[in-house]
Amino acid sequence: MSNLYAKAHEQSINDPENFWGPIAEDCFWYKKWDKVLDSSNKPFYRWFSGARTNTCYNAVDLHVDNGLGDQNAIIYDSPVTNTIKHYTYNDLKKQISLFAGALADKGVTKGDRILIYMPMIPEAAFAMLACARIGAVHSVVFGGFAPNELATRINDAKPKVIVSASCGIEITRVIEYKPLLDEAIDLSKSKPNSCIILQRPQAKAIMADGRDFDWKDVMDQAKPHDCVQVAATDPLYILYTSGTTGEPKGVVRDNGGHMVALKWSMNAIYGVNQGDVYWAASDIGWVVGHSYIVYGPLLKGCTTIIFEGKPVGTPDASAFWRVIAQHKVKTMFTAPTAFRAIKREDPTAKLIKNFDLSEFKYLFLAGERTDPDTLAWAENSLKVPVIDHWWQTETGWAIAANCIGIQQFKVKPGSPTKAAPGWNMEVLDTAGKPVPRGEIGAIVAKLPLPPGTLPTLWQNDERYKSAYLSAFPGYYETSDAGYIDEDGYIYVMARTDDIINVAGHRLSTGAMEEAIAGHPDVAECAVMGVEDQLKGQIPLGMMVLNAGVDRDEADVIKEVIQRVREQIGPVAAFKTATIVKRLPKTRSGKILRGTMRSIADQKEYKVPATIDDDTILDEIKTSLSKIGYGKKT
């Protein structure tokens, strides 16, 4: 078998113009580019400069014009409201063009910012695509975000209009959004001209006269708006990074490169084509929602699912299996933490036997490192390839993946496989020198980054350079640490901050987590380095047990410590662990190791704005106190 991946990757690095140029021909352009890659203003590389296009046209109108109008574009599946609704590409075009007209009626023109603060409902996608349709720049913020954090994003983006809903629903709890939005606007120096509010039956929002308008009313009055031509290098959206301290970083995505990369990735990475049902079980407030709930699947002409529910609790740990079976999902993408939650509630996967998953072909995991135990559990339960892949808010799509549409490789547990085409990855030491294969260092990407990645931060070029390009000149710093093996497989072992130094030995917390997660009673875990007077740092483990485990916790801890000693060695100095009911996470599923480390070391910390439930930190403080860390309670 010829090495199709090697040929594609080599050309993408050494001849990017002739790699991405033909790929871009698959998209619609009002005017073609002058240059595929514009390197005239390094380090601010731009893709498809001189071209004119429209992302909404490519994601919706193009399919209607090509005779696919009656195909399902979006399936809205909401177990929290007991609703399933289908929208064809014709339906989608009608809703989007009307809402684009409604925005235009509020004075929105090309380049204006629109902030979207909504739950997982179709109207959120309509609003995003309506912005793209008229050249406005959308900035989606997680629905239910705290007012002070929402205010910082309003101040940075300065939206002309804010689009929201009266409430969101978290399993059975109704969260009213409008009071949070009102408070955020009060706190903001920048004020929107108007707000458009979708009234949901679960809660009615109180409207401010002159500023707030009902979604239904503006849609009834609107006239359809056509697509507006924009430059390929014009911004499509701003997405603020989660868990940031101080002022948020507004990641910018352009129109042209984003469109080209995402449409190509749907088959090249995920193996789907026009008409396939693709489900990213995520949230539009996270980059996965932008790339693979809304834009990627629709650009490819797939059917995408907007799921307003949870992996457990809506109604139980079979929620994902029901959606896959009912809607004939071919490929699913979610976070490892979702599968750890399912595994914790249903360790033997007995619920999966109630569903016909014969149409299901691939499961992709990303968002946090996929531990081998979770990967093996998913493979054994689903009987399909389970593929870890690695990317970031800033990159917009996969840095490393098993590109099944190009050439599928053997899965190596713990690795997201090889660098995707377009990504020239290296591992460097602290002096910026390459390290030998198999040795841990900082994982970096050589510039230029491929299409679809961030060209800069919103109105802050200097911060873009200082945050991502200054540590290793000529490279993008991923802030992830790991190694590349002899076969070119990348292993992302931890955030750079989570590589701990125990008595002079640099150790990966990810490797220790692998050992712990392999214990049959452990559902999920986190290891972080805490301060130690003798060794500098020592590892501390936090574990959540599977549902139904009824053993002496001291015995489990003893066994886990022994596993780490056997698999990592005595040098790990892993001697302390505790069992907790749950781990603190962001809403995108990332475990807040840094926050727990700060609590243990009695250092000041900022509660991340995207934390799923901040009451959990009190539980963590109590657990750490019992083993001698943090402030005594």
Mean pLDDT of 575-604: 87
The helix (H) or strand (E) run that includes residue 563 is helix 553-567
pLDDT score, position 495? 75
Residue 505 has a pLDDT of 61
Q: What is the pLDDT of residue 2?
A: 64
Tokens of 117: 């603060």
Give the Cα separation of 374 and 518 in Å (integer).
Answer: 9
What's the confidence (pLDDT) of residue 503?
59
| Greatest distance between any 2 Cα atoms in the chain | 71
Instruction: Tell me which of 217-221, 343-347, 481-485, 590-594 is least confident.
Output: 590-594
Distance CA 355, CA 513 (A): 32
Q: Where are the alpha helices (DSSP H) in 312-448?
A: 319-327, 336-345, 372-382
What's the pLDDT tens digit per position in 6-29?
Answer: 999 999 999 999 999 999 999 999
Residue type, 159: P
- The residues that bridge with 83 in the sheet, in sequence order, are 78
Give the pLDDT mean for 75-99. Answer: 98
* CB half-sphere exposure, 440, CA atoms < 13 A: 20
Quick one: which of 91, 98, 348, 342 has its CA closest to 223? 98
Per domain, the residue ranges of the chain are: 54-309, 503-626
Evaluate if residue 499 carries a pLDDT over 50.
Answer: yes
* Cα–Cα dist 623/631, whole Å: 11
What confidence score (pLDDT) does residue 142 get?
A: 87
| Distances from the Cα of 324 to the Cα of 75, 89, 426, 452, angstroms | 12, 21, 37, 29
Closest by Cα among 102, 435, 246, 311 to 114: 102
Mean pLDDT of the chain: 93
User: What pLDDT, on the 0 to 100 scale, is given for residue 179?
Assistant: 96
Give the Cα separation of 75 and 77 in Å (integer): 6
Which of 3.10.310.30, 3.30.300.30, 3.40.309.10, 1.10.8.870 would CATH assign to domain 503-626? 3.30.300.30
The average pLDDT across 554-575 equals 87
Do the Cβ atoms of 463 and 249 come closer than 8 Å?
yes
**pLDDT attached to residue 135:** 98
Token pair, residue 196, equals 């458009």
Region of poorest pLDDT, from 81-85, 472-476, 548-552: 548-552
State the pLDDT at residue 51: 98
Report the alpha-carbon distance of residue 302 to residue 308 in Å, rounded: 19
Please check the confidence at residue 587 and state whether its pLDDT lies above 80: no
- Three-state SS sequence of 336-371: HHHHHHHHHHCCCCHHHHHCCCCCCCEEEECCCCCC
Structure tokens at 382: 């689903």
Task: Please give the residue that has the higher pLDDT: either 632 or 218.
Answer: 218
pLDDT band (50, 70, 90) for residue 246: low
Quote the tokens at residue 419. Answer: 């660098």
Across 163-167, 339-343, 569-573, which has the greatest mean pLDDT? 163-167
The helix (run of H) or strand (run of E) holding residue 499 is strand 499-502
CA distance to 110, 127, 142, 163, 587, per residue, from 117 (Å): 20, 10, 6, 6, 15
Question: What would the mean pLDDT of 535-546 be, rounded to a whole number?
Answer: 88
Instruction: Please compute the mean of the pLDDT values over residues 101-106 and round it to a whole number.
Output: 98
Contact, 230 vs 54, CB < 8 A?
Answer: yes
CA nearest neighbour of 326 among 63, 580, 72: 72
Per-residue pLDDT at 1 exceeds 50: no
Tokens standing for 65? Answer: 């014009």
- pLDDT tier at 438, thresholds 50, 70, 90: very high
Q: Which of 455, 496, 507, 489 has its CA nearest to residue 472? A: 496
Which contiguous run of DSSP H or E holds residue 289? helix 287-289
Confidence tier at 500 by pLDDT (50, 70, 90): confident
pLDDT at 245: 45
From CA 166, how far away is CA 123, in angstroms rounded?
Answer: 12
Terminal CA-to-CA distance of the chain, rounded, Å? 63
Beta-bridged to residue 418, according to DSSP, are 401
Query: Helix crossing, 122-134 with 89-105: angle to 10°?
Result: 60
Is the whole model's pTM more than 0.85, yes or no? yes
The CATH number of 54-309 is which of 3.90.1490.10, 3.40.640.10, 3.40.50.12780, 3.40.50.300?
Answer: 3.40.50.12780
pLDDT, mean of residues 399-405: 97
Q: What DSSP character marks residue 586?
A: B
Residue 144 pLDDT class (50, 70, 90 cuts): confident
From residue 633, alpha-carbon distances to 70, 432, 622, 624, 630 in Å are 62, 44, 7, 10, 9
Q: In terms of DSSP bridges, do strands 235-240 and 137-140 run parallel, antiparallel, or are they unpaired?
A: parallel
Half-sphere exposure of 523 (CA within 13 A, CB side): 23
